[in-house]
Structure 1
Amino acid sequence: KKLGFICQEIGREVNTIGSKSNNAEMQQQVVQMKDELEKIKEQILNVL
């Protein structure tokens, strides 16, 4: 539960960064962060 909550909060922060950034490189970094966060969420589901 706690790990899921932390992932959710990280996701919100990543979305905030994405909405505030206005250059292509930063947008690409945000997409990569979202991909990695999805992998982390899958790992959490495997652990629980």
Structure 2
Amino acid sequence: MKKEHETVHAQHQAMAKKHEQVTSGREELHKILANLMELMKNVK
């Protein structure tokens, strides 16, 4: 039973880590998009 619990815990941690990476990646994208919008405004 304990071993099973550890496996589930490890899987959960891996998922949490992945989610963190996705979230930070999304934030980076938003920053890039915001910068692009600013550039477009300046070009007009």
Q: TM-score, normalised by structure 1?
A: 0.53
> Which of the two has greater helix per residue?
2
Structure 1 segments (4+ residues) deviating >4 Å: none
Structure possessing the higher relative contact order (Cα contacts under 8 Å, 6 or more residues apart): 1
Q: Structure 2 regions of 5+ residues with no counterpart?
A: 1-17
Identity of aligned residues (%): 15
Residues paired across the two proteins, number? 27
RMSD: 1.3
Q: Give the equivalent residue in structure 2 for 1:27.
A: 23
Q: TM-score, normalised by structure 2?
A: 0.58
In terms of Rg, which structure is larger?
Answer: 2
Q: 2: distance between equivalents of 1:46 and 1:23? A: 35
